[in-house]
Amino acid sequence: MSDDDSTPLSATSTRQIILDRLKRHGEQSAADLAAHLSLTTMAVRLQLYDLAEEGLVEARAVSSGRGRPTKLWHLTDAAARIFPDAHQGLAVELINSVEALFGAAGLKKVVDRHADSQRKSYTALLAGARSLGDRAKRLAGARTDEGYMAEAVREGRDWLLIENHCPVCSAARTCTSLCANELEVFQDVLGLDVRVTREEHILQGARRCAYRISKA
């Protein structure tokens, strides 16, 4: 929605908000999107049809009892290209080159060095954070700055660190230790008094990555 409700959304901004909403929240009906945007359902449907023609979204029909089935819209794999990719092609090429030149051990050293750099940066950022929620929010902010579209959401006594996008997905598929190291980094920087577990993983077919942060 625009900052000034009296200012109509342009077609471009409406389109981007729809894509962002589907990325962050998963499949939605046209009516749900319309309510979020304060637009008519038909106006949103027209945008969805245009996005579908470009191959960026598609719908599945869900029966809701009587009446016509409801269409739930979601992003296609092709939509990944419109979100930050952190030069994934170059990253994959570099990973393959390092492994070819220096072997698996050499690649591990490079990946571990990257993890050490993350650990140092996040530790400095979280310094002084007094509560678990503050730590989770600061880490989410850092990850968002890196292109992960992250957010920290409270769930009972726990917090969920949710990453709605992976800007290094292709590199992570090529070198799975990148993901393994990140889980260790999160555990280290969030503190000995918490336990971090990955509950959803993009590389295993989930829409997003989600980490549960609990008091140990």
Residue 65's region, left for phi above 0, alpha for psi from -120 to 50, else beta, is left
Residue 4 lies in a domain: no
Q: Which of 53, 82, 111 is the last residue of a domain?
A: 82
142 and 128 in one domain?
yes
152 and 128 in one domain?
yes
- Can you give the CATH number for the domain in which 145 is found? 3.30.1380.20
Q: Residue 145 sits in which domain range?
A: 88-215
Residue 205 lies in a domain: yes
69 and 92 in one domain?
no
98 and 50 in one domain?
no
95 and 74 in one domain?
no
Q: What is the pLDDT of residue 216?
A: 84
Please list, residue by residue across 133-172, b when 16 or more beta carbons sit within 10 angstroms of its beta carbon and e when fewer do. Answer: eebbbbbbebbeebbbbbbbeeeeebbbbbbbbbbbbbbb
174 and 128 in one domain?
yes
Residue 5 lies in a domain: no
94 and 75 in one domain?
no
Query: Taken in order 56, 60, 64, 66, is the CA torsion positive or negative?
Result: positive
Name the pTM for this structure: 0.71
Q: What is the pLDDT of residue 58?
A: 93
Residue 2 lies in a domain: no
92 and 62 in one domain?
no
DSSP 3-state of 32: helix
For the chain, the domain total comes to 2
122 and 98 in one domain?
yes
Which residues partner with 195 through β-bridges? 214
What does each of the 216 residues of the chain score in pLDDT, given as a tens digit?
Answer: 433 443 445 666 888 899 989 988 989 999 999 999 999 999 999 999 999 998 899 999 988 777 788 999 999 888 877 776 656 676 788 899 999 999 999 999 999 999 999 999 999 999 999 899 999 999 999 999 999 999 999 999 999 999 999 988 888 889 989 999 999 999 999 998 999 999 999 999 999 999 999 998
DSSP state of 86: T
